[in-house]
Amino acid sequence: MISLGLLVIVAAASAADVNNIEQLQAAKNSQLITLRNINVPAGVTLNLDKLKPGTVVEFAGEITFGYKEWEGPLIIVGGKNIKVVGKPGNLINCQGERWWDQKGGNGGKKKPKFFAARLTDSSIDGLNIKNIPAHGFSINSCKNLAISRINLNVAEGHTKGGHNTDGFDVGNSEKISIINSFIHNQDDCLAINSGTDIKFEGNTCIGGHGISIGSVGGRKNNIVQNVRVVRSKVIDSDNGIRIKTVKGATGAVKDITFDDIELKNIAKRGIVIQGNYLNKRPEGDPTGGVPITGLTINNVRGNVLKGGANVYVWVANASNWKWNGIKVAGGQKVMEQKGLPQGCKW
Ligand SMILES: *[C@@H]1O[C@H](CO)[C@@H](O)[C@H](O)[C@H]1NC(C)=O
């Protein structure tokens, strides 16, 4: 029995270098998989799903993808106790400009999603990513996943037609952290549709729609609970921090903290909390089926551009909000504040 156990350990401790997609399947038996300078063929997913527990995946050199109009994802990583590591100088170059047509996920060319995470007790660290075709990281049904030092650079999307290039979309997940990352894109930096125990800390968001919870409601899981967004910056973006809930839907947004957030040159709204989303846009009076309770906003500071509003609130059925140290200025658009819980002032 003992010698058999040793044999298994020796076999599992192997390492595999992968330089083309044909080598990937066999490499999945290894404990260390190093992906280096791969050109993934058009319409094929770089499939790292169902990895063995304990696998380390390294991204090295430049990873590129062939062009096809399809849904993707370009990369999927799944398993338990998995470490995804970007080696120094790594670049996942999606060359999204080949798909960009200003329509994002709303039409035009069909654009592959970038990265699907299906991970438990795992980490992703140090990936450099350029020009995703549309949506970035899809974190769905993940549990205990730590994401750090991601550099998602879609700056070229501003002039070349990038749209819906979300940074991190989180749904139905728990214990997720996203820290010390840099996101320059054309949609939400972070969007949480559902999930619990989510931390977003030490990140810089540039060019997009800001840090968002929602829209919440109308999906299978409609609970967002215990989210901490701290020590982060939102620069040259449409919104700073935002919560959106769906009109007529049910669910809950509770125990949310935004603390130590720096805003710079926000075009539309510095802080926006609204409960009347319908068909992806605000419409009429909010309903109270997705109450926002326990909302702490602390030390949010910075400037909104002239045409924008510093703070916008329109919700129903909200309670227990604590706002302190809000110094958002510059926006001249005056918005009515509706549905603010009693005693909430800033
Ligand atoms: C307000 O929220 C509570 C839960 O906190 C819920 O029971 C109630 O139905 C909601 N009210 C409305 C008008 O939706």
> What SS3 state is found at 258?
strand
Confidence band for 4, pLDDT divided at 50, 70 and 90: low
Mutation pick for ligand 1 pocket among 250, 290, 317 (CB with most ligand atoms within 8 Å): 317
- How many domains does the structure of the chain reveal? 2
Q: What pLDDT, on the 0 to 100 scale, is given for residue 343?
A: 85
- Domain co-membership, 182 together with 216: no
Segment 97-126, tens digit of pLDDT: 999 999 999 999 999 999 999 999 999 999
Of the three residues 187, 221, 248, the one that is the final residue of a domain is 187
Distances in Å between the Cα of 24 and the Cα atoms of 49, 206, 215, 238 are 11, 35, 37, 41
- Ligand 1: centre distance to CA 217 (Å): 14
Residue 320 has pLDDT above 90, yes or no: yes
In a domain, 202, yes or no: no
Segment 211-251, tens digit of pLDDT: 999 999 999 999 999 999 999 999 999 999 999 999 999 99
Angstrom distance (rounded) from CA 18 to CA 27? 7
Confidence band for 61, pLDDT divided at 50, 70 and 90: very high
Atom 6 of ligand 1, nearest CA residue: 289
In a domain, 303, yes or no: yes
Kindly report the pTM of this predicted structure: 0.95
Residue 2 has pLDDT above 60, yes or no: no
- Domain co-membership, 158 together with 220: no
In a domain, 192, yes or no: no
Per the listing, tokens 């949506």 go with 135
- Domain co-membership, 180 together with 276: no
Instruction: Given the residues 135, 163, 184, 209, select the one marked as catalytic.
Output: 209
The per-residue DSSP string of 52-82 comes to: PTT-EEEEESEEEE----S---SEEEEEES-
Angstrom distance (rounded) from CA 267 to CA 335? 15
Average pLDDT, the chain: 95
- Domain co-membership, 179 together with 117: yes
Ligand 1 binding site (Cβ under 6 Å of any ligand atom): 288-289, 291, 317
- Domain co-membership, 76 together with 223: no
In a domain, 62, yes or no: yes
The domain that holds 31 is classified in CATH as: 2.160.20.10
In a domain, 196, yes or no: no
Q: Which of ligand 1's atoms lies nearest the C-alpha of 288?
A: 14
Higher pLDDT, 281 or 1: 281
Residue 308 has pLDDT above 60, yes or no: yes
Residue-number span of the structural domain to which 57 is assigned: 1-187
Residue 280 has pLDDT above 80, yes or no: no
- Domain co-membership, 171 together with 23: yes
Q: Percent of the chain scored above 90 by pLDDT?
A: 92
Of the candidates 171, 174, 173, 132, the residue with the CA atom closest to the CA atom of residue 150: 132
Q: What pLDDT, on the 0 to 100 scale, is given for residue 282?
A: 81
Segment 130-153, tens digit of pLDDT: 999 999 999 999 999 999 999 999
Atom 8 of ligand 1, nearest CA residue: 289
Q: Is 163 annotated in the active site? A: no
Lowest mean pLDDT among 6-20, 44-58, 75-89, 268-282: 6-20
Of the three residues 155, 187, 219, the one that is the final residue of a domain is 187
- Domain co-membership, 174 together with 245: no
Amino acid at site 100: W
Q: What pLDDT, on the 0 to 100 scale, is given for residue 3?
A: 53
